[in-house]
Structure formats: C-alpha cells, structure tokens
A and B are shown apart, each in its own frame.
Chain A
C-alpha cells in the first residue's frame, strides 16, 4: 500500500494519560473500553437476573439492601410486582444493547478488525472514539433511570406501546424512567451507526497489500456483515425512539390510540397505532439478534479452525450463509407479532422466511460438525467454549423452528419457551463466543496467558449451569408458564414452582462460577504467564504484530503483505510447522 494510503488513518503516537487511556483514538484502547463497558453491563444485568429469580421462588422474602435502591419498588427489600417488571426491563435492555451488541461486535471488532486486515487503525479514529463515548453516555442515561423518581421503566426491553407511550399513568417508572430509556436507546443508536460506518469503511478501504476480501479471516467477514446489518437496523430504531419520546413529552399520537383509559385517566391522545411501534421495533429487533450472534459465529469459527489445525469444509459457504442470514433477517420481523392481531395471512408471509433462515444456520452447523469430525482438535479453554457455542446454538436454535410456525406460536408466544429460546442463543451461545474470543486473544492483547485450569473450570461450570437454567424453560413454556409474571399464584402455575426453584439454584451457581472468569481475567492481566508471540500457532495477521500488545500503529510502521488465505493449517512446510502465516511468502507444498 502506498505511503499516502497510510495517511487515511494515520495519527501520531499518543502522549499523556488522557490521550492514551481515556480519550484515545487507538482502536485497541477503544476495543478494551467497549469490553470494559460490556463487563460492567453484564455484571449489572446478571445481578438483576439474580434478584428476579430469587423473587420468583421466594416472593415474600426481603432481599437485603434492595430497599436502598428503591424505597417504592422494594419496600423492606421485598420486590413489588411492578418493580419486578422494572428489573426485567433493565436486565433485557442492558444485556441486549450494552452486552450483546457491544462485546462480540464493538469490542472484539474494534480491537482486531484493523489488525486482521493489516491497517494501522480504523478509517475514522475520531468517529471511533466518539462512538465509544456516546455509548458510554447512553449507558449512564440508562443507569440513571434506577435513581430517578419512580425508578426504571417496566415495559420490557421491547417497550411496547401504548404502555410505554402514555406516561406515568401506566405504572411506576413510566414517567421519567421510560423517557430516559428512550433517550438512552436513541443515543445508543447514534453510537452504533457511527461504529458501523467505521467498520464498513475500514474493511472496504484499508486492507493491506495482498489482503483481498476473500483472504479476510472469517471473523472479519462476520464483523463486516454485522456492521452492514447494524447500519440499517439502528437507522430504523432511532426514529422509532424519537416518535416514542414525542408521544410521551410532546403529546403526539403516533402510537397511542383514541379513547384509552389508563388508571382511570382518559389519555389525551387519539388515532395512534400501537402496532406501528411493534413494526418499527421488530424491524430493528430481529436484525439485532443476528447482530448479536453473527460476530460470535465468526469468532468461534476462526478459533475452531485454529484448534482443529485444518480449514472448515467450506470457508466460502460459511460466508455466504452469514450473508444469507443477514439478508433474510430483514424479512422476518413479523414472527414476533403472530399474536398481535395482524391479518393471519401475514403470518404465513413471515413464517416462510423465518423457516428459510434456519437453512443457512443449519448449513453452518453441519459445516462445523463435519469439519470437526476426524479432526485432531486441540482442547483448551477457547476451543471448549467454541464447542459449547455449537451445542448451545443448536439447542437454542432448534426451539426457533417451533416458534417460527404460527400455529404452534399461538400457544408458545409469551411463554417461557420463548425465553428459553432466546436466552440459549443470545444469553449463552453469544456469550460463549465472547468467552472463547477472550481466552483466545487475551495473549495478544496483554502479552500474558490466562490460566488454563481456571478457564476449563469456568467452561464446565458455565456449560452445565446454563443447560440447567435454560433447558427447563422449554418445559415450563410447554406447560403454559407465561413470561414476565412476577409471581406464580395461578392454579396451573403453582406445580411449576419447584422447577423454578431448581432454575434459581442453577442460576445462582452459574453466576457464582463467572467469578472464576472475572478473577482469571484480572489476575492474568497482571500476573499471568508471559505469552509467546504466537501461542496458538495461528495464521492471521494479528499474530504477526511485532509485540503483544501490538504497538499503537499495529505494525510499527511496517505494512504487512499478505500472500495466503488465513486458514493454511495442516500443511507441510519447509520449517516443519503445520501452518503458514498469511504474511509468509513461503510456498505451500501438496501432501
């Protein structure tokens, strides 16, 4: 690449603490910042889920300290039904937006995409910095909802109108709390759009010499496809949030129908369509779940290939499958609305592409399994989490086949079956992808290895624990257990409480097991065993940087030249190694 093309993202080495670690233009620092924010969000979200689970099985027991968070919502530490819904709303919002969109995509993508394509930095480093700090502001606005007047909103992360649109009449937290929620998500959308723009421009324009699109690692492809999906999806959520905020504070009637009487108050709106919110939200919402899973798919595939020491059966088909999923994700939003009262014929129109989208997902799964078969897989914490990902992706994905059919969904909609489905794919599989990426790339980002024993312990506890938590959800859903209930007092729900108790114990156990990971992460950062330059004997460009962590411009002023695709594993080389790095001009011999 010529000298001038370097200037696209060139910035001088930062000096001073603020420039180096706070308002940094370096994509690596920004990636770590996103990861840190996701870590804070996931711990917060997990604590909220513990409170929810404890309340579900011991509804009258006080939770010590909670009364200090909310006197109204948890008097004496006992969670009220409304506060349960508020906790659920914040749990969902934090997890979907600030964990699942941030960690696999923004954190890992920001850190590794530029290095994997041989660039110095992202295309627009200042936009990159702005995008993280805008996300941070969005996070602060959301968290502030805990501490205002009535507390956080209770309409769910889906914030269905008219509940979310009418204001304080619809419950505690529906005043300022819901408005803060809308504002937070609006700001988050801006940040996401800036981030996606950066990813797309970087991938298309800053690839180093020899790095064709076909030679990009599959995780880079995943980040690129995700950023394309994300660009169009968040561009729809943003106006939706704006309309919601206007309904709440400006008296417009986009979503609130006429004659609505809430808490004995006739609402001053008329003519709005609650269905409009659902359309706008789910048009974003369905691509959003693929934004959550596709980067994890890319990371897991990338790590598995390295661990198997052989390429996947078809790298190209995997990429086409990811593209197909991205494309189809825009056609299926109505499958969240089968019971909304829309024309039943529309259910067919949405059900068909929903079932079609299972095809590329299945092809990918079969490629993974077919490639794993007969391979000499190196077992380590990262590859274990990859295997766990495949298991969870299949388990969680298969329940989607059922939900895709309107006739079955009539029964299963808004039950724990749905909750089990999306938690397995998003809450476990995607997070397993994040864990796998962490264990795999930790040596590159810090120059130290994470503790392998603790990593394997973390895996087994998490794997068994999450199956114990979320598999029973499907049974509960089939038994008719409705979701978003704060208590199970109906006759048909009471016999299910023992199952909920088991789940709660499993959840607390699995949550505690995550402490192993957090300890490992921070301990290894400072005291971990020093890592070799390429501890996994990997081929992609990030392993050819001169140091770990890489210098601020990634390649110390050099511009790598790429000669091969990234998956030359299991090859015969002159040096005796079974892999050839992308930057090595070595010819590859046939077997």
Chain B
C-alpha cells in the first residue's frame, strides 16, 4: 500500500549556530590563509563533542559500579576498619581544582589567538603548561598518599577500606594520566606540530579534564564518608 509523501524535506540542519559562511561551528576566522594554522573549522556534526560526552558517560558508569561495589562490600562483613585519609589528599585536590581554573584561562587565551585577537601563543602556552604541571603534581601527590598509607602498614589487600582506597584513587589516576596525554596532544597541535587544533578537540579535552576534577571531588567525598 502506497502513501503520498509531502515534497522532499530539505530543512534538516539544526539551527543552533548563526550563519557563519558554511564553515560550521568553529572559530570565526578573520584572516584564513592557506597554511594558516588558525584556518580550521569544525564540521557541522562535531562528533568529537558527542564522543566526549559518550565517553564520560561510560567512565561515570564505571565509577558508579565501583561505588556500588564499595557499598555492598561494606555491608557484606564486619571487617570494615576505618582508615585515616592522608592529609596530602587535600593538597592534591587543590592542585586538581587549580588545574581546571588554569585550563579555563588557557582556553580563553587559545580562543583569542585563534580569533586573531592576539598574535602570540605565549600566554596560552603558559596556562596550558601550568595545567599540565598541576595535573602532574596531582598524580605525584596521589602516589605520595599511597606511600603514606604503606608507611602505616596499609597495603592493597590489608583490609577492604585500603583496597577501595587504592582501587578508586588508582583507577582515577589512570584516567587523569589519560587526560594529561590529551592535554599534551592539544599543546602539540596548538604549537602546530601535530596538525591543526580544532575547537572541538580543545573543548573535548577540557570537558574531560573538568570531569576528572569533579569525579575526584565525588571520590574524595565517598572516601571521606565511607573509609
């Protein structure tokens, strides 16, 4: 059985961005030249943006599973011995939050450079480098926290609290290392070494980094509450 269709629909693009000459949602360009590293536009679909949210959903689900494992394990036996969280964790937290702040500042500087409002990369690089250093400090600080626990005789299998401490901080640190890798890649691209830097790449990396910060705050809360 056949149906009549209305004439072919041609209006299908989402009108969420202003008309920018058909180059999609990227940075507005003042002087696009051939070979100009700033002459990069994002595709309309921006799968990088979708991809990062999807990836963050998966990571969130992983930590939700670990949280539920913690709750079930706590209730499973009477061997839940509270541990004292090493104070360096608070310093690490400050470092990670500060790195989010410096990343936002870096973002603004990168955007300004891409728009041609400033001609030098140095300020953007400064903030990017600071972000990397603070992130690295966080990871090193987490390792120091592990050393402190070991000094108290608390190793991975000692008791369930220590197991979850090492587990949660370790899995988070692995993801932070991944984030550091992403930030390094952004830096290389910004310097023009590994291809042009797209806005969506910068955005995706910063969303990931901020998520790592928020995730750490959540984990710290859980560690403080439960362990």
Within 8 Å by CB of B43, from A6, A207, A591, lies A6
How far is it, in angstroms, between the C-alpha of A271 and the C-alpha of B22 when the chains are bound? 62
Question: A210 with B157: in contact, given A204-B45, A588-B4 (CB under 8 Å)?
Answer: no
Q: Is the CB of B9 within 8 A of A273?
A: no
B44 at the interface (CB under 8 A from A): yes
Extra contacts, 14 of them, besides A193-B58, A563-B9 (Cβ < 8 A), are A2-B43, A4-B24, A8-B47, A123-B51, A200-B51, A205-B50, A210-B8, A239-B65, A239-B171, A251-B157, A271-B73, A276-B69, A564-B8, A587-B5
Asked whether any CB of chain A lies closer than 8 Å to the CB of B54, the reply is yes
Q: Whole-angstrom distance between the alpha carbons of A3 and B41 in the complex? A: 11
Given contacts A200-B54, A231-B58, A587-B7, contact A253 B163 (CB under 8 A): yes
Interface set of A (CB-CB < 8 Å, partner B) = 1-9, 123-124, 193, 196-198, 200-202, 204-207, 209-212, 231-232, 234-236, 238-240, 242-243, 246, 250-254, 257-258, 270-273, 275-276, 279-280, 283, 310, 563-564, 568, 570-572, 585, 587-591
B66 beta carbon closer than 8 Å to chain A: yes
Interface membership of B156, Cβ < 8 A:
yes
Which one, A211, A232, A243, A591, contacts B61 given CB within 8 A? A232
Query: Could you give 7 example pairs across A and B, Cβ below 8 Å?
Result: A4-B22, A204-B45, A205-B45, A254-B163, A270-B77, A591-B1, A591-B2
List residues 44-61 of chain B with CB under 8 A from any CB of chain A: 44-48, 50-51, 54-55, 57-59, 61
Neighbouring B residues of A254 by C-beta, 8 Å: 69, 73, 160, 163
Please measure, in the bound complex, the distance between the C-alpha atom of A246 and the C-alpha atom of B7, giving whole angstroms. 61
Q: Determine whether the beta carbon of B45 is less than 8 Å from that of A5.
A: yes
CA distance A306 to B66 in the complex (A): 46
Within 8 A of A (CB), among B18-63: 22-24, 26, 41-48, 50-51, 54-55, 57-59, 61-62
- The closest CB in chain B to the CB of A210 belongs to B12
Say how far B5's CB is from chain A's closest CB, in angstroms. 5
| Closest chain B residue to A207, Cβ basis | B45
Mark interface residues in B168-192 (1 if CB within 8 Å of A CB, else 0): 0001000000000000000000000
Contact B77 A257 (CB under 8 A): yes
Q: In the complex, A3→B47 CA distance in Å? A: 15
**A544: min CB distance to chain B, Å:** 15
User: A3 — which chain B residues lie within 8 A by C-beta?
Assistant: 22
Cβ-based interface call for B84 (8 A): no
Q: Top 6 closest A-B pairs, CB basis? A: A205-B45, A271-B77, A251-B157, A273-B76, A123-B47, A5-B43
Across-interface contacts of A231 in B (CB, < 8 A): 54, 57-58, 61
C-alpha gap A254/B48 in the complex (Å): 37
A4-B8 Cα distance, complex, nearest whole Å: 24
